[in-house]
């Protein structure tokens, strides 16, 4: 113990009464090393007092409590340490049996004729009512019932019990809770309570102060006190995050400068006339949003999300040509070389006969071709540069870079922004995602980004039918596939990779080939060539093939020379063959919902109806079947994204490496969307007012924002 016996917020837990070095080491595994951290070690759930019930009205499996007298106690000892204690508790509404295994002390605790309270979950078998290991409270004959108590349930680790955590937390609250500093001004607590009144029931006219909130979060006096405490702390956590995101947005407009990309009716008409089809209403709306953004002298930071086939690439091309119309260069980064080459060919065809020059930079280029592209980019000869992550490597220089388009949900960090910065100015950024983002994720991981959404698909697209099948139906399915091929359609067959590399990891690999084990897809290819599709022209595509061979296979499939393409998920993003209308997905349980939806998007590119059949292999867990059923029944990408979020949560959807933000301590992105939305609007308003940066009453909260999110969001010190 330190020289002074006074406990302080910074006191190491080993010096708290009854803890010591051994318990402190176990608590450290839970992230608790100081008394203050123990105050903010929040319960994961609560034990609520069971309602009192008549014995003759007890229901099987429904928690309840009762008052009665001990009628009989019997201890059976079978071997040292092995025992069963039976007890009968009765009152004027009936009798129940209590069972305690290996708790021989219960025979001494429970004395005949003693008055007790029993709480637990009963098992009812006919007339027999049993409680196993219920909670027992010994009562005196004239004693009033103890006040019902809501007990916190904390996360545990080996060697730490609930009773210990409760004791330690109660001790620290009694000694230190009044030492906590209030970081939220009173006016904000009042404003927050009013704004939250629709999202949270019964929180009063002002959010609780920090002292009452911490006290009632751990040991609430009643359910309303618990609700108010949770509302205060959840709102604070959401508000601090949204303040950080709002500060980061402000930083873009205060510190960074970008070229102004002006637009007028002539420029707009000349760009739109390049497209051989009318734009959808959604595309026109999003283009107008982008036009307004890029006319400002600071960077656009916009995320364009849309379902598969909604025409995001058209919007990106418009934005890139707008940059060129303002004598600026534009760059588009795609996650795979297959997609980068497809974008390159699309732009070359669209811009045929124009003066706009398009270049391609990828990891497979030989040294001479790479040097030619780099030199042409650096001299300004290339207006539009398309590439993979090779664009981020040293040696790529732009004299006038006005716009960066990042395809498929890559999120550039500060270092990557710097690597593409040119001429002392920052480019505008447009990030595209074909995987619709759940609303709560959009408010957090992408909360510092303006969001545009495409829901409308171009007219004339065929419907897509999805079937969840099983091995017994394979012959019927392959017969269906052959019939479609005989009609002149084309087909995909997608095989899973054997390894467990995640989609996020594959996207972050230096190249797509480094993460693929292709033995599965090669065996499927051989099996189909020698079996049910032996009479058809079949091609093979995977990430470990050299680029020339991959390109040849894709060209042959585009032209119709190949009727069937057997592939890994290298085709999942952006591959566009309108005549391919049938897809077979093998080992579907190995894919995520978003990935399956991306794959399904390959057969919705033309006027013919698409058909997707998914098969599982090996043993499939019940949760896998439920997930695949959701996929088969849900064709709207936005609904599917929300379902995926409910099933897997934000950690699995995005991964720690992608989120880049500290984990939430008490807020839950799924449960607390309403609170997060309120916090977002208040944070934007707060940061827009200079008082947040200048007034003393905001100093504590301002410091909390920068301490928690300063590094992860590169906020700098705007205060």
SS3 for 616-676, per residue? CCCCCCHHHHHHHHHHHHCCCHHHHHHHHHHHHHHHHHHHHHHHCCCCCCCCCCCCCHHHH
Angle between helices 265-272 and 312-325 (to 10 degrees): 130
Pull the structure tokens for residue 368.
């001479």
Task: Return the domain boundaries, the chain.
Answer: 49-149, 181-255+672-719, 265-454, 464-649
In the predicted structure, residue 200 carries a pLDDT above the cut 90? no
CATH architecture assigned to 49-149 = Beta Barrel (2.40)
In the predicted structure, residue 275 carries a pLDDT above the cut 50? yes
**593, 652 Cβ separation under 8 angstroms:** no
In the predicted structure, residue 439 carries a pLDDT above the cut 90? no
Identical fold, 265-454 and 464-649:
yes
Q: Higher-confidence residue: 530 or 713?
A: 530
Q: What are the angstrom distances between the C-alpha of 178 and each of 33, 181, 493?
A: 20, 8, 65
pLDDT range class, residue 572, cuts 50, 70, 90:
low
Mark 393-415 as b/e (b = at least 16 C-beta within 10 Å).
Answer: eeebebebbbbbbbbbbbbbeee
Give residue 203's pLDDT.
Answer: 84
Give residue 528's pLDDT.
Answer: 94
- Do β-strands 401-406 and 428-433 pair in parallel, antiparallel, or remain unpaired? parallel
In the predicted structure, residue 207 carries a pLDDT above the cut 80? yes
> End-to-end distance of the chain based on CA atoms, in angstroms?
39
Mean pLDDT lowest for which of 106-115, 261-270, 576-585, 668-677? 668-677
CA angle 147, 150, 154 (to 5 degrees): 150
In the predicted structure, residue 239 carries a pLDDT above the cut 50? yes
In the predicted structure, residue 643 carries a pLDDT above the cut 90? no
Fold held by 265-454? Rossmann fold (3.40.50)
Q: What are the angstrom distances between the C-alpha of 240 and each of 11, 52, 173, 703?
A: 26, 42, 24, 10
**586, 525 Cβ separation under 8 angstroms:** no
259 vs 254: CA distance, rounded Å: 14
Residue 621 C-alpha from the chain's centroid: 22
Q: Higher-confidence residue: 181 or 662?
A: 181
Pull the structure tokens for residue 522.
């090669």
In the predicted structure, residue 229 carries a pLDDT above the cut 80? yes
155 vs 475: CA distance, rounded Å: 50
In the predicted structure, residue 500 carries a pLDDT above the cut 90? no
Give residue 390's pLDDT.
Answer: 82
The dihedral sign for the CA sequence 628, 633, 635, 640: negative
What does the mean pLDDT of the chain come to? 86
**438, 305 Cβ separation under 8 angstroms:** no
Give residue 5's pLDDT.
Answer: 58
Q: Where are the beta strands (DSSP E) in 293-400?
A: 301-306, 329-333, 358-361, 384-387
In the predicted structure, residue 609 carries a pLDDT above the cut 70? yes
How large is the average pLDDT for residues 582-607?
87
In the predicted structure, residue 603 carries a pLDDT above the cut 50? yes
Task: Report which of 393, 400, 251, 398 is spatially closest to residue 325, judged by C-alpha positions.
Answer: 400
From its phi and psi, is residue 652 left (phi > 0), alpha (psi between -120 and 50) or beta?
A: alpha
CATH class of the 464-649 domain in this structure: alpha beta
In the predicted structure, residue 409 carries a pLDDT above the cut 90? no
Tallying the residues shown for the chain, one arrives at 719
379 vs 385: CA distance, rounded Å: 13
Q: What are the angstrom distances between the C-alpha of 210 and each of 32, 170, 235, 508?
A: 20, 16, 12, 42
245 vs 448: CA distance, rounded Å: 5
CA angle 554, 555, 558 (to 5 degrees): 85
pTM: 0.73
Calculate what percentage of the chain has a pLDDT beyond 70: 89
CA angle 205, 207, 213 (to 5 degrees): 140
Give residue 231's pLDDT.
Answer: 95
Angle between helices 699-709 and 223-254 (to 10 degrees): 80
pLDDT range class, residue 253, cuts 50, 70, 90:
confident
- Burial class of residue 593, CB neighbours in 10 A (0-12, 13-18, 19+): buried
406 vs 403: CA distance, rounded Å: 10
Give residue 670's pLDDT.
Answer: 80
């Amino acid at each position: 113990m330190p020289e002074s016996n006074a406990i302080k917020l910074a006191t190491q837990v080993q010096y708290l009464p009854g803890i010591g070095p051994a318990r402190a080491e176990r608590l450290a595994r839970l992230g608790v090393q100081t008394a203050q951290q123990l105050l903010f070690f929040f319960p994961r759930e609560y034990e609520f007092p069971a309602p009192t019930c008549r014995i003759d009205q007890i229901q099987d499996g429904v928690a309840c409590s009762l008052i009665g007298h001990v009628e009989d106690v019997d201890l059976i000892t079978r071997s040292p340490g092995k025992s069963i204690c039976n007890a009968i508790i009765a009152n004027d509404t009936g009798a129940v049996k209590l069972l305690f295994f290996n708790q021989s002390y219960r025979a001494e605790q429970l004395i005949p004729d003693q008055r007790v309270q029993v709480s637990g979950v009963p098992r009812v078998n006919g007339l027999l009512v049993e409680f196993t290991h219920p909670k027992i409270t010994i009562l005196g004959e004239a004693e009033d019932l103890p006040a019902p108590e809501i007990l916190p349930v904390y996360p545990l680790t080996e060697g730490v019990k609930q009773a210990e955590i409760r004791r330690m937390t109660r001790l620290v609250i009694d000694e230190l809770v009044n030492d906590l500093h209030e970081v939220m001004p009173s006016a904000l607590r009042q404003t927050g309570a009013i704004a939250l009144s629709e999202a949270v029931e019964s929180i009063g006219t002002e959010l609780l102060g920090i002292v009452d909130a911490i006290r009632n979060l751990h040991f609430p006096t009643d359910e309303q006190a618990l609700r108010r405490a949770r509302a205060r702390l959840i709102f604070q956590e959401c508000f601090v995050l949204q303040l950080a995101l709002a500060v980061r947005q402000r930083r873009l407009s205060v510190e960074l400068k970008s070229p102004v990309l002006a637009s007028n009716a002539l420029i707009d008409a000349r760009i739109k006339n390049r497209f051989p089809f009318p734009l959808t209403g959604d595309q026109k709306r999003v283009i107008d949003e982008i036009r307004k953004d890029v006319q400002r002298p600071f960077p656009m930071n916009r995320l364009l999300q849309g379902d598969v086939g909604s025409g995001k690439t058209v919007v990106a091309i418009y934005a890139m040509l707008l940059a060129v119309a303002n004598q600026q260069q534009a760059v588009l980064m795609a996650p795979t070389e297959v997609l980068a080459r497809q974008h390159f060919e699309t732009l070359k065809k669209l811009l045929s006969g124009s003066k706009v020059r398009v270049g391609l930079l990828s990891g497979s280029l030989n040294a001479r071709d790479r040097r030619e592209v780099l030199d042409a980019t650096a001299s300004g000869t290339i207006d539009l540069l398309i590439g993979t992550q090779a664009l981020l490597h040293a040696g790529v220089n732009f004299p006038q870079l006005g716009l960066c388009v990042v395809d498929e949900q890559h999120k550039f960090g500060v270092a990557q922004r710097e690597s593409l910065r040119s001429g002392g100015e920052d480019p505008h950024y447009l990030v595209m995602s074909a995987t619709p983002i759940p609303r709560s994720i959009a408010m957090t991981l992408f909360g510092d980004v303006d969001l545009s959404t495409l829901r409308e698909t171009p007219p004339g697209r065929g419907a897509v039918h999805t079937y969840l099948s099983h091995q017994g139906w394979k012959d019927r399915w392959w017969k269906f596939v052959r019939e479609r091929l005989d009609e002149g359609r084309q087909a995909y067959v997608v095989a899973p990779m054997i390894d467990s590399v995640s989609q996020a990891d594959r996207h972050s690999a230096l190249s797509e080939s480094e993460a693929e084990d292709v033995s599965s897809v090669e065996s499927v290819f051989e099996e189909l060539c020698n079996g049910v599709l032996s009479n058809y022209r079949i091609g093979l595509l995977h990430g470990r093939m050299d680029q020339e061979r991959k390109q040849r296979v894709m060209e042959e499939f585009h032209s119709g020379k190949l009727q069937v393409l057997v592939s890994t998920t290298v085709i999942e993003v952006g591959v566009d063959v309108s005549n391919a209308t049938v897809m077979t997905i093998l080992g579907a349980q190995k894919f995520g919902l978003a990935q399956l939806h991306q794959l399904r998007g390959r057969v919705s590119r033309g006027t013919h109806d698409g058909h997707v059949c998914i098969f599982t292999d090996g043993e499939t867990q019940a949760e896998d079947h439920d997930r695949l059923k959701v996929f088969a029944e849900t064709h709207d990408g936005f609904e599917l994204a929300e379902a995926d979020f409910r099933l897997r949560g934000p950690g699995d959807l995005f991964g720690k490496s992608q989120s880049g933000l500290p984990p939430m301590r008490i807020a839950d992105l799924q449960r607390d969307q309403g609170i997060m939305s309120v916090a977002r609007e208040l944070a934007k308003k707060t940061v827009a007012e200079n008082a947040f940066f200048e007034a003393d009453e905001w100093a504590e909260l301002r410091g909390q924002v920068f301490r928690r999110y300063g590094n992860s969001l590169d906020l700098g010190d705007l205060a």
